[in-house]
Amino acid sequence: MPLHSNKIEDKIAVMSRQNLQWLSSYHKVKLPYRMLLLSLLVALVVTGIIYPLSIGLMIFILGFFNYLLLLAFRISNVLGNTPVMPTLASGPFATLDLPLVSIVLPLKNEGEIIKGTIEKIETMDYPDHLKELIIVVEQTDLLTRRSIKGLNLPEFAQILLIPEEPPYTKARALMHALPKLTGRYLTVYDAESRPEPDQFRKAISFFAAHPERNLCLQSKIKISNQEDGWIARSFAAEYYEWYELHLQNLSDGGYPFGLGGNSFFVEVEVLREAGGWDPYNVTEDAELSVRLRQKGVDFILLPSYTTETSPDSRKAWINQRTRWNKGLMVTQFVHLFKTLKGSGFSVSAWVNFWIPMVCNSLLPFFNLFIPIYMLFSGVPWVLFLAMSILLWGILIINLISSTYLSQKVYKRLQIKVGAGQVFWDISRYMILHLVAGFKAYAEYFYAPLFWHKTHHEETEVETPIIPIRKKDHIINSKA
């Protein structure tokens, strides 16, 4: 049954779910599953209130430990040992047998920002005849098509026009490109991606140095507009902690990690064997990571950077994070228990990959349950007082420690603000996380595949638009 009213689903998406079978997120976003899960959550809340000294207290304790785990995770992340960057292959690049690299650029409702993206790809330090750029655009997306028409596309670029059919996800667009790829390796960039010029060289060098390993290389992503207000600098600090600390530690330890959605490199055939992207998941990068790991792929953080911009408003940030949270929940529904045994995940790898994700996904439930439980279950006043002290205590500790940790990260990013401003930043940022968590829960139940388009501003100086060549570069997708 289609998930989008009476509209006919994209044939590529249908073929994908048939290929992935029970590993497809489709089964976890269908209405019966969502209603079953909602019923279980409501039943759990009601049961906790009816039995406050057994079920309710147990849920409270689990929630409190969930808060502690998340705080401990961040403290260990920031205060842990400084990771060691991996060493790349040495020797001149000319000695390498350079392969063809396919670049997929999915676009939707994009304007002037596209020009900077194309220019960055065109000026990458890699032979043009060994680049293959496929720009994926919906046939009805007139804004993006007009924007591209005003550009001087490189000879290695093609425009792939796809139908506007549900599910309206980035993964669906990527799946249309997958059969068209002729390169040995693949990377994906977004409209706001600004990769370093030597990123291809570094990736290919690393692959060449480890021919015996099945690898997926993830470049680091950093925020280029960290001076544009408190949301941007908080977002930049969050990305720093994620890529420079958390993912680097996982990479150094040989553990799998969730991909960043762009600037990763993997063999095209390996990607095809894994089933490609899942069109029924709005966080396709993390979901793909699981299936790649199940195919024996090792994940390495590449010492190369791609810059992008932070969402420019509270609404944009909340919508983007809502989508991330929603997709990560679905990824857990599909893969969490399937990866417990014989799936490429050791016990330590499973814990490092899943536990932080699960704790974050459970946070909105505990944030909702605990106030309802304390106010309406009629717990003895002594217990109510003890729980209140615990909650206020963890909140105060969280605010103080987060201020200290954010100060350290701000300093590493050369963001110069006082301690009071840091405290104010993290307090508001926590509220944004709270709202996005609740919204992700709500959207999962009524709009699991709704894609919040994130608007990004161009932050780099651009050259004037060059008139388009006569060659139109256009191909059509035939699903």
Structural domains in the chain, sorted by start: 1-479 (3.90.550.10)
Rounded mean pLDDT, 286-299: 97
Quick one: pLDDT at residue 453? 82
* Contacting residues for 218 by C-beta, under 8 A, at least 6 apart: 247, 257, 259, 260, 263, 264, 299, 300, 301, 302
Q: CA–CA separation, 64 vs 213, rounded Å?
A: 42
* Contacting residues for 71 by C-beta, under 8 A, at least 6 apart: 394, 397, 398, 401
Quick one: pLDDT at residue 386? 98
Residue 90 has pLDDT above 50, yes or no: no
Residue 107 has pLDDT above 90, yes or no: yes
Quick one: pLDDT at residue 184? 98
Rounded mean pLDDT, 375-385: 97
pLDDT, tens digit (0-9, with 9 covering 90-100), for 44-62:
999 999 999 999 999 999 9
- What is the reported pTM? 0.93
Quick one: pLDDT at residue 163? 97
The band of 455, judged by pLDDT with boundaries at 50, 70 and 90, is confident
Rounded mean pLDDT, 243-258: 96
Quick one: pLDDT at residue 285? 97
Rounded mean pLDDT, 167-173: 98
Rounded mean pLDDT, 241-253: 96
Quick one: pLDDT at residue 342? 74
Quick one: pLDDT at residue 461? 35
- 34 against 459, higher pLDDT: 34
Q: CA–CA separation, 278 vs 160, rounded Å?
A: 19
Quick one: pLDDT at residue 85? 55
The band of 358, judged by pLDDT with boundaries at 50, 70 and 90, is very high
Residue 207 has pLDDT above 50, yes or no: yes
Rounded mean pLDDT, 180-205: 98
Between 35-39, 215-219, 310-314, 318-322, the lowest mean confidence (pLDDT) is in 310-314
Contact 63, 370 (CB under 8 A): yes
Residue 244 has pLDDT above 90, yes or no: yes
Q: CA–CA separation, 280 vs 167, rounded Å?
A: 7
Q: CA–CA separation, 197 vs 123, rounded Å?
A: 7
% of residues, the chain, pLDDT over 90:
87
- Residue whose C-alpha is closest to residue 321's, from 402, 213, 439: 439
The band of 343, judged by pLDDT with boundaries at 50, 70 and 90, is confident
Between 149-153, 289-293, 450-454, 475-479, the lowest mean confidence (pLDDT) is in 475-479
Query: How many CB atoms sit inside 10 A of residue 174's CB?
Result: 23
AA letter at 85: M
Residue 467 has pLDDT above 60, yes or no: no
The band of 448, judged by pLDDT with boundaries at 50, 70 and 90, is very high
Rounded mean pLDDT, 329-352: 94
Strands 474-476, 215-223: pairing kind: unpaired
* Contacting residues for 249 by C-beta, under 8 A, at least 6 apart: 77, 80, 83
Residue 462 has pLDDT above 50, yes or no: no
Rounded mean pLDDT, 172-188: 98
